[in-house]
Structure 1
């Protein structure tokens, strides 16, 4: 099983959106028996809460399920439990590497989401909790998840 973890700050906007979109794309390709996704936050403010209302509304509009997604915090065990750890911004990546310690230094399994979208100028997925622009985030996440899925399919012959 190939496991992907998406990480943002509070695990209520960007990373649960990415988890839901990625799961949807995996299901469309009928590879859910080989690839799974989860999400987590670097902070603990929203533990056990469902995705933000703006994320839920947008996912509903696109017919994408977020069933079972609840906020949780990144754990040390996540490093060994996931093959890909995709951070929504530079700050999240720095915080995740701090949780994982020296074993994650320079390790390519931990990377920024925007690395999946090399044609975009920004290093970070904007946080719609502050910007309110969930649609912009969805567009980035949709394309980035497609690129990640293609990368995984190629690398693992999934």
Structure 2
């Protein structure tokens, strides 16, 4: 039974949001946490694309498959069916709220939600080398750990 739906959003849904989805899903599985559905989309995604090579490599280093990811454009159905929408940047948040004003109260940048810092973005590794993707994956892992802690606190209240 799905109790909570989290949607990660970036630009093309091939790097940051794709990695966040895979990393967070893996973390939930490792910890045996059920009832949280994780999805991702992009504000300018081309449907049916794969994750970027750098994202796939960064995930593979963690024994997480990334080669099965299929990019999805952000749409009203995804937004309406999400309890929490976490964007990688402030500009992604603005795009979501502009397109879907009804979701304003559940849309945050990832770092705004976990660290209460609305100005902090997750750096875009697109076009970078493997070290840039690895740095992004590490940053996401750290922030997603805090996200899990925050969701646990919310569930306890």
Calculate the TM-score normalised by the size of structure 1: 0.87
For the 8 Å contact 2:51–2:67, the answer to whether it is kept is: no
Shift of residue 130, structure 1, vs aligned partner: 4.2
Gap runs ≥5 in structure 2 = none
| Structure 1: 5+ residue stretches without partners | none
Provide runs of 4+ in structure 1 moved above 4 Å.
119-122
Q: Contact conserved, 1:9 with 1:92, CA < 8 A, in 2? A: yes
Residue 37 of structure 1 pairs with residue 34 of structure 2: no
Deviation at 1:62, TM superposition (A): 1.0
CA RMSD after TM alignment: 2.2
- TM-score, normalized by length of structure 2? 0.87
What is the total number of aligned residue pairs between the two structures?
153
Q: How does 1:1-158 map to 2 (within 5 A)?
A: 1-31=3-33, 33-44=34-45, 46-66=46-66, 68-101=68-101, 103-105=102-104, 107=105, 109-116=106-113, 118=115, 123-132=120-129, 133-157=132-156
SS in 1 for 2:139: helix
